[in-house]
Amino acid sequence: MRGKRAISGLILAAMLAAGSSPAAAQEPHRVTIAWPDPVVVTQPPPRDPADLQVLFWTDEQRSQRFREMEKWFAGHEVPAPKSTRPLPRGKQLSKALRAEIKALMAETNTAGVMVVIDGKVAFEHYGLGMGPKDRWTSFSVAKSFTSTLLGAAVKDGKIASLNDPVTKYIPRLAGSAYEGVTVRQLATMTSGVKWNEDYTDPKSDVAQMNRFVADYGADAIVAQMKQLPREAEPGSKWVYKTGETNLIGLLVENAVGKPLAEYAQLKIAAATGFEGGMFWMVDPRGGNIGGCCLSLRLSDYARMGIFALEGGGAQVPVDWFAEATDSAVDFGDSGFGYGYQWWTYPQGTYGAQGIFGQGITLFPDKRMVVAYIGNWAQASGGAERGQFLDLSRKIAAEVR
């Protein structure tokens, strides 16, 4: 995962959370907002905006607050579905591998790891006070959920084709650098639109999202993205842009007529059989942040991985996951690349990634999912991401 990318969505949510009335209850409570139909969101107690800067939380604060983001940011609460997909215990990993995973967890401040092989749990362990019924934030792992909802909208006929122009679904982008960009190019981050996601630069596009929220409120996403210049022909250059995943979220919401969280309740949570509820942060529109910030149990991140391995059932087009998790963009000869909001890895593996140590890594040939959640020392993860990928490969090598 490159740098501090996923945090942009938090800036938007922070503005809504910080706008709570001083008289509001000191615990999260439900409020009704217009979107454009009334929707109910969980509103946190009033917070000092300075205390909502996630990148500057201490290690102790992150370990506590990543488990309870609904107390800090506004969002939709999606209840657990009535029917849960069981995850029975299967053959356990070798004693040596179990010890190695636990040691890496302790070394890297990882809150949970679950390994599921052929639908059965081969390993499950927690740290940092996390338990199996607790939820943990996703950061950019949410991008792969948003991609899946894009596929669901195609299956439902709400989006006719990925070759449609983006402006068909977000008309307010007409006349901007997104004129002539397709939905597919948005999904693969190859729009050719210029974007700077450097969080060390206060003038970067991602850092400026806060200003656009202050200036434009509910219109912030489109207002910012439509003023960006084009730097390359659509389809010719890959640049990671959380702002564009937020556009995908807006595009899907416009197409289906409901917030991403409500759509995910039907197309992912219920279809997959999540065990717990889901929390997904909202932006000032009252819609969800496509590029970031849902919260799930570790076991439900693993269920999402199983859902992807099984092709999404009837919820997405037949070949959706095969296409979405293929390398639309290759990063040289490394074997790494990018699909529709999924990262692709060497040897036919792929995954979802989020800052501070969130991930779902999938091995289709082994029918294996490795889900992990964490509070790594750096947002970018440093060497930890590679360590977990290497360890996942070691686990896969043990699977017969």
Question: For residue 38, is pLDDT > 80?
Answer: no
Q: How far lies 277's CA from each of 64, 201, 218, 351, in Å?
A: 19, 36, 26, 22
- Nearest CA to 54 among 69, 38, 34? 69
pLDDT at residue 81, as a whole number: 95
**Amino acid identity of 206?**
V
Would the pLDDT of 17 be above 80?
A: no
pTM of the full predicted structure?
A: 0.93
CATH topology of domain 5-89+106-398: Beta-lactamase (3.40.710)
Q: What is the pLDDT of residue 227?
A: 95
Residues in the chain: 400
- The band of 333, judged by pLDDT with boundaries at 50, 70 and 90, is confident
pLDDT of residue 36: 65
Query: Residue 335 in contact with residue 272, Cβ under 8 Å?
Result: no
pLDDT band at residue 145 under the 50/70/90 scheme = very high
241 token code pair: 């842009």
d(CA 346, CA 334): 7
Dist CA 47 CA 26 (whole Å) = 10
* Residue 152: closest CA among 69, 61, 144, 186: 144
Q: Which residue has the tokens 């990018």?
A: 338
pLDDT for res 49: 81
Burial 24-41 (b: 16+ CB within 10 A, else e): eeeebeeeebebeeebeb
With bands split at pLDDT 50, 70 and 90, how would you rate the model's confidence at 32? low
CA–CA distance, 324 with 338 (Å, rounded to integer) = 9
Render 74-121 in DSSP notation, one character per residue.
Answer: -EEEEPPPSS-----B-PPPPHHHHHHHHHHHHHHTEEEEEEEETTEE
161-177: average pLDDT: 98
Q: 382 versus 389: which is more confidently predicted?
A: 389
Question: Residue 2: what are its φ and ψ, rounded to 5°?
Answer: -95, 110
- In the chain, the percentage of residues whose pLDDT exceeds 90 is 77
pLDDT at 272 over 70: yes
pLDDT value at residue 199: 61
Tell me the C-alpha distance between 52 and 18, whole Å: 8
d(CA 106, CA 109): 5
Give 63's pLDDT tier (boundaries 50, 70, 90). Answer: very high
Among 105, 80, 79, which Cα is nearest to 114's? 105
